[in-house]
């Protein structure tokens, strides 16, 4: 099963990808996680991407396409769920070309729809563990002890790209460059629009209804 999960920053793509992975045994391919790992490890790709990520703007297409194409080709036969990719029509076209070479394609595209105000609240309230990568929210999903990771006791941090100013830039970038990806896919296939403002478990139930048919 090959799934593309679309939506604005803070729409819940990462949360729901993990739920999908747990239920169907797919590989979670998150462009953001891969980029942050590359940056932390000081690779050439990470160094090139860092300035874009810190400013909340998109990393250039060629860098992302090269990285994600390798990840997709290395995915297991069980399939994958793409989180944060493709983010531009150019990337979507490049993905289609890469999959066509292997006589495969995307099985389903799901678009998570969330109000901008909820996006801002979700992202600015997000805190991450610098050690294990666990993610919390100061109000919706707080750790057992304020400011401390439940798993390893590390002090939680707010990522540089989770501040209010950067979030606004990310939303503007989304509407300008990423929302057209939804239109690109809708022009050639059925895209499932899923309202994602509400409870995560309720949203997940809708996603499972869609994916169970493909299993």
CA distances from 202 to 15, 83, 102, 138, 197 (A): 13, 20, 35, 21, 10
For this structure, is 13 an active site residue? yes
Looking at 13, 36, 122, 127, which residue is catalytic? 13
Looking at 23, 159, 168, 192, which residue is catalytic? 159
CA distances from 66 to 13, 42, 85, 157, 207 (A): 22, 17, 12, 30, 29
For this structure, is 122 an active site residue? no
Looking at 2, 36, 126, 127, which residue is catalytic? 126
- Measured in whole angstroms, how far is the alpha carbon of residue 31 from the centre of its chain? 7
Q: Are 81 and 28 in contact (CB under 8 A)?
A: yes
Q: Are 90 and 97 in contact (CB under 8 A)?
A: no
Give the C-alpha separation, 4 to 164, whole Å. 27
For this structure, is 97 an active site residue? no
Phi, psi of 70 (to 5 degrees): -65, -40
For this structure, is 139 an active site residue? no
Give the C-alpha separation, 160 to 73, whole Å. 31
Q: How many CB atoms lie within 10 A of CB 208?
A: 16
Looking at 19, 36, 87, 122, which residue is catalytic? 87
For this structure, is 77 an active site residue? no
Q: Which residues are catalytic?
A: 13, 87, 126, 159, 170
């Amino acid at each position: 099963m090959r799934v593309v999960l679309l939506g604005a920053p803070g729409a819940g793509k990462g949360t729901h990808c993990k739920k999908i992975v747990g239920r169907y045994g797919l590989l979670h391919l998150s462009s953001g996680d891969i980029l942050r790992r590359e940056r932390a490890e000081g690779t050439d790709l990470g160094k090139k991407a860092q300035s874009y990520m810190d400013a909340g703007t998109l990393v250039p297409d060629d860098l992302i396409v090269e990285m994600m194409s390798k990840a997709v080709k290395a995915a297991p036969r069980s399939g994958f769920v793409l989180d944060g990719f493709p983010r531009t029509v150019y990337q979507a076209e490049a993905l289609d070309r890469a999959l066509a070479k292997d006589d495969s394609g995307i099985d389903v595209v799901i678009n998570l729809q969330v109000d901008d105000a909820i996006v801002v609240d979700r992202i600015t309230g997000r805190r991450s563990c610098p050690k294990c990568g666990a993610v919390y929210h100061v109000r919706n999903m707080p750790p057992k002890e304020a400011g401390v990771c439940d798993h390893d006791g590390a002090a939680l941090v707010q990522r540089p790209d989770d501040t209010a100013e950067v979030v606004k830039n990310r939303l503007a970038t989304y509407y300008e460059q990423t929302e057209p990806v939804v239109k690109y896919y809708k022009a050639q296939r059925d895209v499932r629009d899923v309202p994602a403002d509400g409870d995560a478990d309720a949203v997940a139930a809708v996603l499972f209804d869609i994916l169970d048919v493909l299993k």
